[in-house]
Amino acid sequence: MATFQYRALASSGGPIAGQVEAGTRDDALASLRKSGLRPIEVSEQKGGAQARARSGSEKKWRRQITNFFAELGVLLQAGLPLDRALSIAVENVSVPPLRLRLAEVLAAVREGRPLSGALLDQPGLFPGLAPAMTEAGEANGELGAALARLAQMLEQADEQRRQVSSAMTYPVALTIVAVGVILLMLLFVVPQFETLFATAPKGSLPASSMAVMSASKFVRTNGLYILGGLLAAGFALRQATASPAGKAWLDRQMLEIPQLGPLLRNIETVRFARSLGALIDGGVPLPNALALARRTVTNRHMNAGIGEVVDIVRQGGGLSAPLAERRILPTLAMSFVRTGEETSQLGPMLGRLATVLDRDVKVRLERIIAIATPTIVVGLGIGVAAMVASIMSAILGFNDLAVAQ
């Protein structure tokens, strides 16, 4: 599978840009046309762009782009002309390569290109929602407010990513330390006593001591085979989930894991609801807004379900009923969507849903950490204490046997 950058016309006639995964360029074109888009330009994303996206500079670029939109929105709301506001915002960007790309946007605007079109001319640089929200702001004369809303949404998404990554850092680090300490005991500490216990009469050592000695010998003898087996299993899992169907299956199974599944579902729903609500509030038609908000959903099972809903909505169907049939969103989310649809306040209700679920994500993360941290610490303590106790009991028994003789 390859990633293709595209520019296309939506059913409303407005330009749209983004990325699509497909085997070939023809497959990408077919996928876009099936989604109701009219492709203008489709090109495969080159390795350089992918390498930059994987590099550590991605976070810095993302923060700079968020600040860029926030400053631009404030300057426009203060009454500055677009080209002057853009010039000031570009000058405040501290990353030279990004400043050059944004300078191209400024040059295009000064040549008469609308800001949304200038953003589309920089594929892979801006989030897929940025051109659509910018175009909506240009259409209703509220470009400054639209950019401020876009910046707020991007900042909220970054904050959620920071919360999840920082919350999982400590349990992961503890797990690595726990495994490392136990392996250190088995590989280096326990073998120091093998010579001492080798002369003990058969059956004189406690069963726990024999078990620890056997475990140590097994790990030292078969360690490379165990490592190879784990690597082979990991490679096999990666190959099995390399296809879109395999990835979708894995993502679906992740949603079924207790505690973790609801957390992942809520995280994805927050992104989706926040993006969809912002686009609808910005004046983007619901079918186009759904197609754009769908890109923020990384879980492939949920993404596929939303894709089916997009097709139904394009054909004139409602939103809440097909979403409820596919059971891809939490029950609470469906209540908000249904209420927003019935009261014609879908945008504001989706914004409130994102706020409520974001709070629930924080609570669930704190709960998982509160459970995982002491569990790992206690498990490590019990494991090390059991090994030390088994060795000490063997030493004491060995000394008693020597005294008795």
- In terms of residues, how long is the chain? 405
Domain annotation for the chain: domains and CATH numbers:
1-55 (3.10.20), 169-405 (no CATH)
Note the Cα 359 to chain centre separation in Å.
18
**pLDDT tens track of the chain, all 405 residues?**
566 777 777 666 666 666 666 667 777 787 777 767 778 777 776 544 443 443 445 667 888 898 999 999 999 999 999 989 999 999 988 888 888 888 988 988 988 888 988 888 887 788 877 887 888 788 778 888 888 888 888 888 788 778 778 777 888 888 888 888 888 888 888 888 777 776 666 666 777 778 888 888 888 888 888 889 989 988 888 877 777 777 778 888 888 888 888 888 998 999 899 888 888 887 788 888 888 888 888 888 898 899 899 889 888 888 889 999 988 999 899 999 999 988 989 989 998 998 899 888 888 888 888 888 888 888 888 888 888 888 777 777 655 555 545
Q: How far apart are CA 275 and CA 296, in angstroms?
A: 8
| CA dist 192 → 204, 211, 222 (Å) | 19, 16, 19
| pLDDT of the residue at 353 | 92
Q: Residue 106: which of 62, 75, 79, 140 has the closest Cα? A: 75
Identify the three-state secondary structure at position 37.
Answer: coil
Q: How far apart are CA 239 and CA 246, in angstroms?
A: 9
| pLDDT of the residue at 48 | 41
95 Cβ neighbours under 8 A, 6+ residues apart? 57, 60, 61, 64
What are the φ and ψ backbone dihedral angles of 38, each rounded to 5 degrees? -110, 105
The pairs formed by 230-237 with CB atoms below 8 angstroms and a separation of 24 or more are none
- pTM as predicted: 0.67
Token pair in block for residue 159: 């904050």
Q: Mark 219-252 as b/e (b = at least 16 C-beta within 10 Å).
A: eeeeeeeeeeeeeeeeeeeeeebeeeeebbeebb
Q: What is the dihedral sign for C-alpha 65, 43, 3, 303?
A: positive
| pLDDT of the residue at 88 | 92
Q: Mark 266-292 as b/e (b = at least 16 C-beta within 10 Å).
A: bbbbbbbbbbbbbbbbbbbbbbbbbbb
Q: What is the dihedral sign for C-alpha 26, 29, 33, 38?
A: negative
